[in-house]
Amino acid sequence: MSYLNETTMLALATVIFAAAGLLHFTQKYSSSIRLYMLQSCAISVLLIASAFDRLTPLLVVAITATITVKVLIAPYFFFGLIKRHELKFSVSAYLNTPVTLVAIAALLLLTRSDLFSSLAGLAAVDEKLLRLAFATILISLFLSINRRGALSQVLGILSLENGIVAFALFAGLEESPGFQLGITFNILILVVIATVFASMIFRKFGSLDVSTMKKLKD
């Protein structure tokens, strides 16, 4: 991380956090996917910076694979999904906008609580950055629970994963290239499977709204 100054890192952490926050309020699927791309670009810069002084061929492969999956392949699949089914507007959330805002504010308060003060000791850089990453984790988790659209739920999961990666990087944790590749491979498979399932859900239920799926009530 020594290749990035504090201001740049703070800017990147803010982008990651803001993207997760805005994902709660976007109306269009295309805007949600672009926000995820932006968040993934910020993560990519952090990943490259964290690995710059210990680059090995395998690490280069691992980082390239991670960036390719997050910034290119996942959005490609999602754009393909909305184009194939001519989807434009995202399905609404379970909670309305004011209540969602209150819930997000409550989650942000958690980053000021005792819970976080124990985690703050892990910070390899400024504690503020770790706080932003932790906030990203919490509001991404809330995003996957609160949104009714299948695609929005998947974007919530991927944003949660980005938040965890950011937290790990700010805490000075870098995994070995082999495991980095393993995690990236899992994300790729998750994206592919989730897209296929979302497509199947649309065909069976005529919508990506998961709240219309009520066949299991017995």
Partner 1 sequence: MALVILLATPLLAALSTLAVRSRAALLEVFAAIAAPVEFAAAAMIVVDVIGNGKSEYGSYLAVDSLGAVVLITVALVGLAASFYSIGYLREEVRKGIIGFSRVRQYFALLHLFLLAMFFAILTLSPIGMWIAIEATTLSTAFLISFYNKPSSMEAAWKYLIINSIGLLLGFFGTLLFLASSAESGMDRFIDWGVLTREAAGMNPMLAKIAFIFVLIGYGTKVGLAPMHTWLPDAHSKAPSPISALLSGALLNVAMLAILKFKIVSDAAGAADFSRNLLIYFGVISIAIAAFIIILQKNYKRLFAYSSIEHMGIAALGFGFGGLGTFAALLHMIYHSLAKSILFFAAGNMFVKYSSTKIARVKGVLTALPVTGVVLLIGFLAITGMPPFGIFITEFYILSAGIGGHLPVVVGVLLLLVLVFAGFLRHVTGMSFSEAPESLLSGESNYLTLVPPVLLVFLFVAAGFYLPESLNSLINAAAALING
Name the site residues for partner 1 (rule: CB under 8 A): 54, 115, 118-119, 121-122, 137, 141, 144-145, 150, 153-154, 157, 160-161, 164, 167-168, 171-176, 179, 182-183, 185-186, 189-190, 193-194, 197, 200-201, 204-205, 210, 213-216, 218
Select 98 or 147, whichever has its Cβ closest to partner 1: 147
Question: Nearer to partner 1 by C-beta: 132 or 183?
Answer: 183
Residue 38 Cβ vs partner 1, minimum distance, rounded to whole Å: 20
* Residue closer to partner 1, measured from CB, 98 or 215: 215
| Minimum CB distance to partner 1 smaller for 12 or for 155 | 155
Shortest distance in whole angstroms from residue 138 CB to partner 1: 11
**8 A C-beta contact, residue 95 and residue 147:** no
Structure tokens at 55: 């680059």
Q: Which residues contact 96 (CB under 8 A, 6 or more apart)?
A: none
Task: Answer whether 57's CB lies under 8 Å from 65's CB.
Answer: no
CB 80 within 8 A of CB 199: no
- Least distance CB 7 / partner 1 (angstroms): 25
Q: At what angle do helices 177-205 and 57-67 cross, to 10 degrees?
A: 20
Place of tokens 């805007």: 31
Q: Which two tokens stand for residue 195?
A: 């897209």
CB of 163 to partner 1, least distance (A): 9
